[in-house]
Amino acid sequence: MQERARAVEELRIAYPDHRDGKEVATSTYVRLARLQGNETFFPALRTLHLNSLDRRQNPPVLFHLPLFLSPTLTSLIISHLGEDAAGSLACFLIENSPGPLASLVLHSVELSPLLATSISQCRSLETLDLIIGGPLDYLSLQAILSCPQLLIVKLNTKHAQYSGSQTVAITTPGPRMGDIGQIHLESQIRVVEDVVTTTADRNMLGLAITLGESYDEEMIQNLLRRIAARQASITNLTIDLGYTFAIDASFLSSLISANTFNELRTLEFRGLAFQQLNEHLPQVLTHWHHIRHLSFRTAANATGYISLGILKLVAQLCPNLSSLEALFDSPDTTFDAPGGISNCLLSHKLLRLNLNEFEPNANSYYYYNHEPIPPEIVQRVARYIYALFPDLDDIETRACNRHNHDHWKPVADSYKLFQSFCRREFKELNDIRQRQLDGAGD
């Protein structure tokens, strides 16, 4: 048995076994402990995965974790860890902390102060993925985020009872810790604010936030202010409210014009609708020279749509943008032509455009007469989009909710036909020129 154990690199134990419902008895671990002696039983173990069901929160293996101590362990995954076994896990992590443990996944776990402290001792930890239930305080949150090598952090605290801290001050920076690549938070807004605060002395490259509860405009604004103040140079930001909530777009433009969020490469707002976005977006775009992905994903009847004419500013001010998603007003003629089609191959290199259809009020002519967009307008709008973005791989549309009419669909279809025609024409023209050059060489 010991010979076979020496060759094990990955070990998965499920309670009960998903195939036949069997499980390893406690007596088995006792016998293994006697066999182990003073030697490491699994000297080559790299990945340990322990999975239990809700009804069996503390399987025997969790109380015999020292059996799996290994100098090569890099990944530990445990689901449904009960409070009684948390101490065993804490001791296991502390004993293993000099090792190369780089990934720790704990789902359905109560994060006691002891367990949080033991996680903070894992100095090689790069990936931390926690789904936390039960009580949670600020000091424990601070402890798990203090690992110096963290690159990816996923925290789900939506079922935790967070006591937080009434006043959270930024501590005096200690030894320089590495940048955090990406933090994913599915949490209450107080947890998000405290995470942003406690990591303020480290550069955060990406932050993805999902808020499942309803908040008022002031709380959302305070959250954005805190992110801007603590992580002004963030490059990837995603905020998902899970519901549609309107906020004044002038607030967004004031944040960005104050030298924050100017290094953005990816920005996604899901559910957060910016009122008067069309009026404020031009001054915002002037700060987004580096942005590559921009998404305002809201319900079709939300405020915060943009007009077709804004696309010209996008092409001029955001040369690196490859993906754009937003609510657009109906296809019409209220835009300036971007120039001749002949030079379109030198235009913007946008690859994906999502034209979600804005559902307006009852005064909108096209929508509420239920009439299709006239073909001449469809073709003019399609040529306009092509002149700006000739290399689109995807041009997606979505019907408005109220009448299930997708007025952008004919535009998208016309764009693809026009793109195909132009590419064929340019290819034939290049072939003719090449033949002329070859003939001149003869």
Mean pLDDT over the full length of the chain: 82
Report pLDDT for 325: 94
Give 132's pLDDT tier (boundaries 50, 70, 90). very high
> What's the maximum distance between 2 C-alpha atoms anywhere in the chain?
89
| Residue whose C-alpha is closest to residue 68's, from 148, 143, 10, 121 | 10
Higher pLDDT, 229 or 364: 229
Give 81's pLDDT tier (boundaries 50, 70, 90). confident
Query: What is the H or E stretch that residue 193 is in?
Result: helix 189-198
d(CA 274, CA 303): 7
Report pLDDT for 345: 46
Residue pLDDT, tens place only, 228-237? 999 988 999 9
Give 8's pLDDT tier (boundaries 50, 70, 90). confident
Q: Which of 12-16, 179-183, 305-309 has the highest mean pLDDT?
A: 179-183
Residue 341 has pLDDT above 60, yes or no: no
Residue 214, amino acid: S
Cis before 375 (ω within 30): no
Residue 363 has pLDDT above 70, yes or no: no
**What average pLDDT does the segment 32-40 reach?**
64
Residue pLDDT, tens place only, 256-282? 888 888 899 999 999 888 988 999 999
Q: What is the pTM of this model?
A: 0.84
Report pLDDT for 25: 57
Domain boundaries, the chain: 305-442
**What average pLDDT does the segment 51-80 reach?**
79
Residue pLDDT, tens place only, 137-171? 999 999 999 999 999 999 999 999 998 765 544 44
Query: Is residue 128 within 8 Å of 119, Cβ to Cβ?
Result: yes
Report pLDDT for 80: 83
Torsion of the alpha carbons at 125, 129, 134 and 140, rounded to the nearest 10: 30
The single residue listed with the structure tokens 């969790």 is 62
The single residue listed with the structure tokens 């279809």 is 413
pLDDT cut 70: percent of the chain above it: 81
